[in-house]
Structures are given as C-alpha cells and as structure tokens.
A = this chain, B = another copy of it.
C-alpha cells in the first residue's frame, strides 16, 4: 500500500491523458469540435481536457473512448498511465 502525498505529481497525469486523447483523435482525422459533439461534451471543456487543464470525470473518459472506438483502458495505457 502506498500513501498518496499532496505533493504527488498528479497534475502531470492529466496532461498525459489529454495528449493520448489528442493523439488518437488526430489519428482518426477528427476535429476537437467534432469529438466533443460525438462524445456529448462541451467544446471548450474538451479543449481543457486535451490540454490537461481539467480533472476529467470517469464518465467523460468513457464517453471520449466510446466516441474514439476504443476502451477507456486503451486511452490510459496509451498515456502510459
């Protein structure tokens, strides 16, 4: 078991997840706006997710994965998380 300190570099994980979302979106030749619409997520919120500026909820990760035709665990694995 590992105690999670407040100083953990947790914020870096948001950026890595966002980069994985962007990479898979670009690989599918989909615009950020189109992905947001497909996933049912606000467009400006999607931009913040891709830039790692928002603590995305699990259900939004699931929505993004469904829209990108992959599993949520695929996105995390691609982010090295």
A26 beta carbon closer than 8 Å to chain B: no
Number of A residues with CB within 8 Å of any CB on chain B: 36
Give Cα distance in the complex from A68 to B81, angstroms. Answer: 14
**How many monomers of this chain does the complex have?**
2
User: A73 touching B63 by the CB < 8 A rule?
Assistant: no
In the assembled complex, 26 residue pairs joining A and B whose CB atoms fall closer than 8 Å, in A order, are: A1-B28, A1-B35, A1-B67, A1-B68, A2-B68, A4-B39, A4-B63, A5-B40, A6-B40, A8-B63, A10-B59, A10-B62, A13-B62, A13-B72, A14-B58, A17-B58, A55-B57, A55-B59, A56-B57, A56-B58, A71-B76, A71-B81, A72-B81, A73-B76, A73-B77, A73-B81
